[in-house]
Amino acid sequence: MPAIPADPRPFPFDPAACALLVIDMQRDFLEPGGFGAALGNDVSLLRAAIEPNRRLLAAWRAAGLPVLHTREGHRPDLSDLPAAKLQRAPAGATRIGDPGPMGRILVQGEPGHALIPELSPLPGETVIDKPGKGAFYATELQARLEALGVRQLVVTGVTTEICVQSTVREANDRGYDCLVPSDCTASYFPEFHAAALKMIAAQGGILGWVSHSDHVLAALATP
Ligand code: C5J
């Protein structure tokens, strides 16, 4: 098996049991006029992750390994939106469910809720809709992974310290080995991106492994 160079030690890549999990690469987070912008963020900071994800997705698909995408969002009636989540926004900000230039903010079926066109899912790829930050909470993700025989996850997407790290923490507690390629994730706060990656690999890999997509691509190319 082609181990992937990683911090704190090589990741024991098992192509027969590994899925690519792309977190929340949605217009609402990456494009002006969505949820990320409504919270006062410079959404252009997330765009650096697009090309590395595009390359990794292409290689992953070519290798015939499973790909799953997630989207954060809420039902149109907001029945799955806790009041605490709705209220936590800067004063005066456009809030979840409010109308915006890409439709209602963070609401399923609206243009802003869609995955960015650069990383559109292919027919047959799983798309998990999630109401929270972690991808396991209130979703069918674990059942899907179990059906696929997946025990390892390469986790990419945005943002590093919120939905990516929340998902890695949830996955870790469920016994999955997680590898995060640092260039395939991004944050509105570069210092949080760096700290979140450090937290994952610290203490001997307390939450998982951190690497670079070049190493994952090399492993995928190894016969
Ligand atoms: C946030 C996410 N930051 N996908 N969501 O609210 O990281």
Q: Which of 22, 155, 163, when mutated, tests ligand 1's pocket best, judged by the most ligand atoms within 8 Å of its CB?
A: 163
pLDDT of residue 184: 99
Half-sphere CA count of 133, side-chain side, radius 13 A: 13
Q: Which residues contact 14 (CB under 8 A, 6 or more apart)?
A: 1, 151, 152
Backbone angles phi, psi at 175, to 5 degrees: 90, 10
Amino acid identity for residue 1 in this structure = M
Q: Running DSSP on this structure, what letter comes out for residue 208?
A: -
**Residue 103 Rama label (left phi>0; alpha psi -120 to 50; beta):** left
Pick the atom of ligand 1 nearest to 24's CA: 4
Average pLDDT over residues 200-214: 98
Average pLDDT over residues 99-112: 98
CA dist 58 to 90, 152, 159, Å? 38, 19, 21
| 93 compared with 72, residue with greater pLDDT | 72
Q: How confident is the model at residue 2 (pLDDT cuts 50, 70, 90)?
A: confident
Average pLDDT over residues 22-27: 99
pLDDT tens digit sequence for 145-174:
999 999 999 999 999 999 999 999 999 999
98 assigned to active site: no
85 assigned to active site: no
pLDDT tens digit sequence for 107-143:
999 999 999 999 999 999 999 999 999 999 999 999 9
Amino acid identity for residue 162 in this structure = I
pLDDT of residue 74: 98
> Cα–chain-centroid distance for residue 127?
12
pLDDT at 1 over 70: no
pLDDT at 26 over 90: yes
Mean pLDDT, rounded, of the chain? 97
**How far away, in angstroms, is 62 Cα from ligand 1 center?**
29
Pick the atom of ligand 1 nearest to 163's CA: 7
pLDDT of residue 223: 77
pLDDT tens digit sequence for 55-81:
999 999 999 999 999 999 999 999 999
Q: Which of 25, 29, 187, when mutated, tests ligand 1's pocket best, judged by the most ligand atoms within 8 Å of its CB?
A: 29
CATH topology of domain 15-221: Rossmann fold (3.40.50)
**How far away, in angstroms, is 23 Cα from ligand 1 center?**
9
